A = this chain, B = another copy of it.
Amino acid sequence: MASCLIGRQLSLCVQKNLWLNSAGCRYVSKAAAKTQVEYDYDGPLMKTTVPGPRSQELTKQLGDIQNVGAVNFFCNYEDSRGNYLVDVDGNRMLDIYTQISSIPIGYNHPALLKLMTNPNNLSTFVNRPALGILPPENFPDKITESLLSIAPSGMTRVQTMACGSCANENAFKSIFIWYRNKERGHNTPSEEELTTCMTNQAPGCPDLSILSFMGGFHGRTLGCLATTHSKVIHKLDVPSFDWPVAPFPRLKYPLEEFSRENAQEEARCLEEVVEDLIVKWRQKGKPVAGIIIEPIQAEGGDNHASPDFFRNLRNISRKHGCAFHVDEVQTGGGCTGKFWAHEHWGMDDPAEIVSFSKKLLTGGYYQKDELQADKPYRIFNTWMGDPSKNLFLVEVLNVIRRENLLEEVTRSGKALLNGLYELQAQYPGLLSRARGQGTFCAIDVRDAATRDRLLLQARDKGMLLGGCGDQSIRFRPALVFKEYHVHIFLNIFNDVLAQNK
Contacts and interface: CB of A to CB of B under 8 A. Distances in A.
A331 to B, nearest CB: 14
Interface stretch (A339-347, A379-387, A438-446): A379-387
Nearest to A227: B200
Interface string A34-68: 00000000000000000000100010011011111
A170 B66 CA distance: 14
B123 A77 contact: yes
A14 interface: no
A9 interface: no
A206 B156 contact: no
A152 to B, nearest CB: 14
A15 interface: no
A126 B137 contact: no
B126 A108 contact: yes
B172 A222 contact: yes
Contacts of A32: none
A425 interface: no
Contact of A198 (B68, B134, B176, B235): B235
Interface stretch (A96-104, A479-487, A491-499): A96-104
Contact of A65 (B158, B176, B236): B158
Interface string A92-136: 000000011011000111001100110010111111111011111
Interface stretch (A138-146, A308-316, A447-455): A138-146
A322 to B, nearest CB: 14
Interface stretch (A21-29, A237-245, A253-261, A426-434): A237-245
**Chain A contact residues, majority secondary structure:** loop
Interface residues of A, number: 123
B381 A136 contact: no
Contacts of A234: 377-378
Contacts of A85: 134
A157 interface: yes
A80 B123 CA distance: 9
A207 B65 CA distance: 30
A165 interface: yes
A357 B102 CA distance: 23
A463 interface: no
A262 interface: no
A223 interface: yes
A164 interface: yes
A166 B162 contact: yes
Given A65-B140, A76-B136, A116-B116, 16 more contacts: A62-B139, A64-B156, A75-B135, A77-B124, A107-B127, A116-B125, A169-B221, A169-B222, A173-B238, A193-B236, A197-B237, A199-B214, A204-B237, A206-B237, A206-B239, A222-B226
5 contacts: A73-B134, A77-B136, A107-B127, A162-B166, A163-B381
